[in-house]
Each structure stands twice: as C-alpha cells, then as structure tokens.
Amino acid sequence: MPYPVYRPRRLRESPLVRRMVRETRLSVDDLMYPLFVVHGRGVREAIGSMPGQFRLSIDELQKECKDAASMGIPAVLLFGLPQEKDPRGSEAYAEDGIIQQAVRAVKETIPDLLVVTDVCLCEYTSHGHCGVVEDGRIKNDPTLDLIARTAVSHVEAGADMVAPSDMMDGRVGAIREALDEASYPETPIMAYSAKYASAFYGPFREAADSTPQFGDRRSYQMDPANSVEAMREVALDVDEGADIVMVKPALPYLDVVARVKGEFGLPVAAYSVSGEYAMIRAAGHLGWLDEERAMVEALTGIRRAGADIIITYFAKDLARLIEQGRA
Ligand code: PBG
C-alpha cells in the first residue's frame, strides 16, 4: 500500500483553493431581518439583552428598513409592541394597530423590501400567552379566529407574507382559508412549524415584553427532546397550506433543520433566535471569543444544515461582511 493517495490537506493549503471547494456559501439573499416596532416618534430604544438591536418607532423603522434594503437584505420580519394589552390581544388585529401602521409605512416608502409579519397574540395579551385563556388554560380553537383575523389585517395593510408563531393546532389552515376568503390567495404563509419551548427566547421576551404572566408555553410549543414529532408538525402545516416551513431556534436544532430539508420539498427557514444572538454578542463583548468569526461560523452551520432562509439579528452585520468578501 503506497502512502495514501488522497491527502485532504492538499485542498486546504491555499486560500484560493479553499474558496473554490467551499461547499456552503452565505448570501445576503438568504437573510431575513427581525425588527421590533413601538408606538411614538423618534424612538430608538436599545434592548438591553440584545446589544445592537432596538425598539423602533415607525419613522425609525423606515430608516432601518431603508438601510437593510440598501444592503441587499430582501426581507424584514416585524414584531409589534401595542399601546395597551388586553386578554384577547385586540391590537393584534386592529386596523390601526402598531404592525398594521408599520406595514403601511414601510411598504409606502421602501417598495423593494419584503415585509413579513409575525402573527401571534403574545405581545398583545395581558396574560402574555399566544392564545385565548379560559379557566387558566390556553384554548386552541377559540384562538384560531383571532390569529386568522390578525393575518388578514396584516395583509390588508400590505404585508407580503405572514408568519404564524403561536403553535396552535390548525392555525395554518385557518389563516389560509381566511386569506383566500379575503381575496388574498397569492399571499404566502411562512409557518413556524417546529417551534420549540426554548430558553433561548429569553432576550426576545424582554424586547417584546411578552413573558407569560403565569405558567409557560409548554402546552403549545414543542418539547426540545422531540424530532419525529417535528416531522408530524411540518407535515400538518404542509397539508394546511404552508409555503415555507420554519424550525426555531436554529443552533440547538440543526438536526431538525436537516431532517425537514431532507423529508419535505419545501423551502426551509431557520430562526436563529435572540438567545443565540445574545450568547455570541456577550461572549464577544467579554473577549471570550472572536465575535465576528463565531457569527459567520454559526450562520454557515445553519445554512449547511439545509436552511434556505436564515432569520437573524445579525443580518446587517453579515451583509456587511459578505459585501467585503469576509464571509
Ligand atoms: C412569539 C414569538 C417568540 C419569538 C418569535 N415569535 C417568543 C416566544 O414564543 O416566546 C422568539 C424570537 C427570538 O427569541 O428571537 N410567539
């Protein structure tokens, strides 16, 4: 036996060769940028647990969206903080709710940016749950109507796509039916299909003021230990009319991303959530790791696992690096 004919290091020696044989590339085309919108004017309020992210009033949101679009980022994902919360989350589906106003403003001023809206009640309900509460329980079917109304109101305001994140059973079907009835058969649904009950949402709940006031979300979000169940969730959403399916969070669930990509022929989105962002930012801030390299490596891993769309708070940072040829 001669010395091994195949020497993997041959292709690692030169940066140019490495560039040519690289299997996974990050592109700005894959990015979706989540943003938080609040009432008011001139508001740009830093979110403590998410350095570099802000709660923005609509005028500031427009600036941020213009910036993102000018960097080539194709889409934003909007989350709203209402003026007032109530048990049924009324502002979520109000015609002049924060998201409805924000969508109109962004679509008017930045037409070449996709505006995707998170469809959920938890930021709008006084109890902080994603569904209607009766007798201390989160009710599934009474929630569906409110979720569907929310989605229709977003699309009426001009949203290009809706993204339900509540994890109620049957919500994709309910939204599809409501959109079709309202003459929006062309509007796609990106379903948070496999959304886990995750500790990594912690910083987001501070940002969106959506911490449940009692109990937790384990009766509707998935058990982190399950992946066969994730396939059932995705299959249901596909049957109900989902156009894009999502796995969330991303990093602790890359096996689920790969499985969904392998088993279903649909575009897959992975949401690299607030806790993933905060970990990298915090360790970078402390000098415990190289933040920029950690960010690129984490997002490359998500892409390599099979995600077509990466939802990330690092969208602008990454777009900048890609433009400079550093990612
Ligand atoms: C609302 C929602 C959450 C996130 C997106 N939509 C929070 C939750 O389910 O508690 C989390 C996003 C993030 O952590 O970045 N249901």
Query: For 32-79, what is each residue's pLDDT tens digit?
Result: 999 999 999 999 999 999 999 999 999 999 999 999 999 999 999 999
Query: How far is ligand 1, taken at its centre, from the CA of residue 228, in Å?
Result: 22
Catalytic residue among 85, 139, 248, 316: 248
Minimum-distance ligand 1 atom for the alpha carbon of 210: 10
- Work out whether strand 137-139 and strand 161-164 pair parallel, antiparallel, or are unpaired: unpaired
Where does 24-323 sit in CATH, by number?
3.20.20.70
User: Would you list the domain boundaries of the chain?
Assistant: 24-323
- Catalytic site includes residue 195: yes
SS3 per residue for 288-299: CCCHHHHHHHHH
pLDDT of the residue at 233:
98
Closest to 73 (Cα-Cα) out of 105, 108, 47, 34: 34
| Residue 249: strand, helix, or coil | coil
What is the Cα–Cα distance from 39 to 102, expressed in whole angstroms?
9
Contact call for residues 306 and 27 (beta carbons, < 8 A): no
Report the mean per-residue pLDDT for the chain.
97
Contact call for residues 230 and 252 (beta carbons, < 8 A): no
**Cα distances (Å, whole numbers) of residue 231 to 167, 239, 248, 253, 262:** 14, 12, 13, 13, 11
Is it the case that residue 4 has pLDDT exceeding 90?
Answer: no
| Residue 42: strand, helix, or coil | coil
Residue whose CB lies within 8 A of the most ligand 1 atoms, among 117, 150, 165, 279, for a mutation test: 165
Identify the burial level of 179 via C-beta atoms within 10 angstroms of its C-beta, where 0-12 means exposed, 13-18 middle and 19 or more buried: buried
Query: For 221-256, what is each residue's pLDDT tens digit?
Result: 999 999 999 999 999 999 999 999 999 999 999 999
pTM, to two decimals: 0.97
